A and B are shown apart, each in its own frame.
Chain A
Amino acid sequence: MNLLREELSWITPELCLTLFACVALLVDLFVQKGRESVMVGFFSLMGLLATAFFLYRQYGVTPPAQPVFGCMVVDPFSTLFKLFAVGALAFVVLFTMLSRQTRPDGYGEFYFILLCAGLGAFFLASTYNLLLMYLGLELLSIASYILAGYAKGNRRSGEAAMKYVIFGAVASGVMLYGFTLLYGMTGSIDLTVIGPKLRDQFALDHGTIPISVATGLCLAGFAYKISAAPFHFWTPDVYEGAPTPVTTFLAVASKGAGFAALLRFLQAGFIPDRTLGGPEAMMGYSDKLGTLVAVLAALTMTLGNLAALGQTNLKRMLAYSSIAHAGYVLMGVATMNREGFSSVLFYLVVYYFMNLGAFGVVMYYANTTGDEQIDDLKGLGWRSPLVAITMVAFLVALVGLPPTAGFIGKWFLFTAAVKKGFLWLAVVAGINSAISLFYYFRVARAMWLRPEEEAKYATVHASPAFAALLLVLAVGTVWFGVGFDSLLRYCDYSQNLLR
């Protein structure tokens, strides 16, 4: 009984989030009509705050990696990702409260589903168990399908949801099939057991084809979740069609969780512990896998960037940009070492700030004008300078220029890639960054370089709350570009303790 209580205490954040998800559902029943958005949103925020508090208490507690019920683990890595997810959810909730795009009724369910999706992200971040990983992924995915189609009666939203569910279900099915093969080869669904067993198989020289097939199928599922090539086709349509707060959630929290699971999966199963000296074949396989990921990374960033060049819709452009960014992050994954994974963590935090900000501006703009075209932003800088200035900060970070966090994030990815010997990849990524300047700055051009007289829309006021949100994100974006040492240590620490 005591043991149970102790293990339960390690999943307080999850329990707290579940509890508040249910509270959100219940509160909705008792709130006066028309005030659901504010009230339920408020309760959701409280829940996220409480969850963040419990997470914060867990961070850095000894023992560093605490197994829970034999299928989850609480360590700084998972805590970092959970905090990441909670932060992203908080912003999405705030955006939703301030947005006019989501339906006026049915907010209780919306927040409930959103928090459930967050729960899925929690599981993805902290499990070594294939079953729980699959469950977490499905929880996150199914909730996301519903959210994408939440604007009922909106044809784009409906289309987005359908495309998302078709792609998503196929990808997760393929991944499940890959999981079963891994299970068949090792007789376990626990990655901590699968890893050593695979190592043994390499030692016995069974050949790598079955393992390659299984890994490939699994990677397809992850690639879909992080929208990496060649499984990125759903991204632009879904991002464009879904309500903007949902798009923000998909681009930030969902993608982050996908990366968390991918890192765990690779780390536990496919990276030989060089200190223990795994079999040579295993090392060779891990490097080959890394090269494959590197090629995918180059493909992803290039496809994303080239497609983004031609976009006229702001949200769609950001969708392609998020594909390109997945490519950059994959650079760090391709190194298949701790340093690279640490740079992935760093970049994801940076990505969180700049993308939340950019999507926030899109939402603000779409709310006030009902328009999402880049060209129609013209003259906006002069009309609402604060929003436009923060947007420039986000754009600069997305391009990856100093003194913003985007540069520092890319710096570590580049360093990790070059150190691993992927100089070509660094050069490709560099060229891609230069290309990306062109489409990101189309937005800056429209906002600032066109005179005020050309502005299509009259003064559009950001509500003080919304302006404050954007300002917080912009300050974060710039701050982590000049004072990033604490974040760097945090990421390093989280990564070093990953088994």
Chain B
Amino acid sequence: MIANHLLTWITFIPLLGMLAILLAPATQKALIRGLAVVATAIPLGLSLYLWLTWGAVNGGSAQLQYVERVPWIQAGNFLVQYFVGVDGLSMPLVALTCLLMFIGVFASWNIERGMKGYFALLLLLEVGINGTFVSLDIFLFYVFWEVMLLPMYFLIGIWGGPRKEYAAIKFFLYTLAGSVLMLVAIVALYLITGTFAIASYTEGGQNMPGLLELARTKQITGANLVAGGVLMGVSFQDWMFWFFFIAFAIKVPIFPFHTWLPDAHVEAPTPISVILAGILLKLGGYGMFRIGFPIAPESFEKFRTLLAVLGTINIVYGAYVAMGQTDFKKLVAYSSVSHMGYVLLGAAAMTDWGVKGAVLQMFNHGTSSAMLFLIVGVIYDRAHHRELNGFGGLVTQMPYYGGLTTLGFFAALGLPGLAGFISEALTLLGSFKTYPTLTVISCLGVVMTAAFLLFAFQRVFQGPLNPKYAKLPDISGREVFCQAPFAFLCVLFGVLPTLILDILNPAVKQFLLLFPA
């Protein structure tokens, strides 16, 4: 029963947990925490099962696995399906979500005020994220996509820092503006094709082509909606491409839509920053790979150089701005902007290596950025500020913390032997074939990233010990427990990248097939 509906369980167990928490009395704090742990641990366990049995289940094929499909809303021609499934593209991200959420619960151990609401919202957020990753129906995808917004707004807005209200509404408005564009594109797609299914499926022995197949076979021209498929001198495909692209670019975030990110990160409480950087940004990238690019393959071909330029700007600009930061968290936030640039650059390159690097970069950034934000959280909890220049010499005072930080920083700056190196190298190698100049410029970003991270490390950990912090306790067991899985994954996929590349390979090949050569 569980194996048949694996994805449904993974997605909706947190919802059950949320309801349980809402019914629990607010005074029973241990009970609420326990429920949150259980409600995130079960999906984590299931997703581990998913990962570990992956090779046995699909044997290296690119087919969608664990597919479930039942009609959800059916009235006349209007058919929305509960259509879910995973492939090599989404499965690692689902697993990452489950892990991050589980860790997120432990990282939230100190939350006292309104903790019932906090954990309920956290679990609702998990439902939204996992639902988005597994959806194969674009209506369902959109519903889950928007379900994420509300908990995120309240999590930042209620439990955030001093400028939380501004940060929360900015995040909400930016994302909503993007989703409205996406909604218009979805409406148009539905009117053209009459289907919401992203992937194809068979119904009563008959092949029902999904949106991606229709796009690949050039059946989405929009000619039946607007005359000639051209609206205001721009082809319909281009409109759709940009609508989707902007919606996802805001989430990634791609320059110039990135300004919400530093605010949201700086104001959000540590666990929320971790989830935001670790997973929410990936949704943008995932959306591009799953829908945004293949839905309009010709427009993608037409504009991909522009996308590569945007990706390069992201890499270099993010790193450049990060160099100028003195707020530890802001620095990490801008490093995220820089790292996510690789995803766009690799995708735009459209080579096997480039795309693989881009997808892998999403996963690796999920682990390394989560670790960085946890590191910031540790010091913020102790010193109650994040001013880089206000520290110094902490390595003698907090040796274990220093060690973990070293690992996290090296993973983020792409040291060989750690995970970040593999994905960045793959991306750059893959894109060099297509865009040599841009790749060279991007390499500048690598150097700058190394510079600001090492510089930050030096300011916090080296030099004379700031006497104010002579009594800081070292990292606690709970904090180590939170960081350990990410450290482990950074090392594991740095040493044995094939463990994950074997999963990505067929999916990436399949992805490239969606584009007519």
Contacts and interface: CB of A to CB of B under 8 A. Distances in A.
Interface of A: 382, 392, 396, 399, 401-403, 407, 411, 414-415, 418-419, 421, 423, 426-427, 430-431, 433-434, 437-438, 441, 444-445, 448-449, 451, 483-485, 488-489, 492
Contact of B157 (A427, A445, A483, A484): A445
Contacts of A382: 114
A192 B398 CA distance: 86
A423 B226 contact: yes
A494 to B, nearest CB: 13
Nearest to A430: B180
A414 B76 CA distance: 18
Closest 4 CB pairs between A and B? A430-B180, A402-B143, A488-B75, A449-B157
A434 B187 contact: no
A415 B150 contact: no
Contacts, number: 88
Given A403-B147, A438-B169, A489-B75, A449 B164 contact: yes
A431 B150 CA distance: 19
10 contacts: A401-B150, A415-B187, A418-B225, A419-B225, A423-B188, A431-B177, A433-B176, A433-B180, A445-B157, A485-B73
A392 B169 CA distance: 15
A419 B189 CA distance: 11
Contacts of B213: none
Interface in B172-190: 172-173, 176-177, 180-181, 183-184, 187-188, 190
A441 B169 CA distance: 8
B158 interface: yes
A426 B231 CA distance: 14
B146 interface: yes
Interface of B: 73-76, 78, 113-114, 142-143, 146-147, 149-150, 153-154, 157-158, 164-165, 168-169, 172-173, 176-177, 180-181, 183-184, 187-188, 190-191, 225-226, 231
A151 to B, nearest CB: 35
Contacts of B176: 399, 401, 433-434, 437
B143 A434 contact: no
Contacts of A484: 73
Contacts of B190: 415
A414 B150 contact: no
B191 A401 contact: no
The secondary-structure label for the interface of chain B is: helix
- Name which of B150, B153, B231 has the most chain A CB atoms within 10 A of its CB: B150
Contact of A438 (B73, B154, B157, B173): B173
B141 to A, nearest CB: 11
Given A426-B184, A449-B157, A485-B74, A418 B191 contact: yes
A427 B181 CA distance: 8
B188 A418 contact: yes
Nearest to B26: A385
Given A382-B114, A433-B180, A488-B78, A401 B187 contact: no
A415 B191 contact: yes
B184 A427 contact: yes
A495 B176 CA distance: 32
Given A407-B146, A419-B225, A445-B165, 17 more contacts: A401-B146, A401-B149, A411-B183, A421-B225, A423-B188, A426-B187, A430-B181, A431-B180, A433-B180, A434-B173, A437-B173, A438-B169, A444-B153, A445-B157, A449-B158, A488-B75, A492-B75
A396 B149 CA distance: 11
A441 B153 contact: yes
Contacts of B154: 448-449
B146 to A, nearest CB: 5
A421 B226 CA distance: 7
A451 B157 CA distance: 11
A403 B72 CA distance: 13
A438 B171 CA distance: 12
Contacts of B183: 411, 414, 430
B180 A434 contact: yes
Contacts of B191: 415, 418-419
Given A441-B172, A492-B75, A418 B184 contact: yes
Contacts of A444: 153
Contacts of A489: 75-76
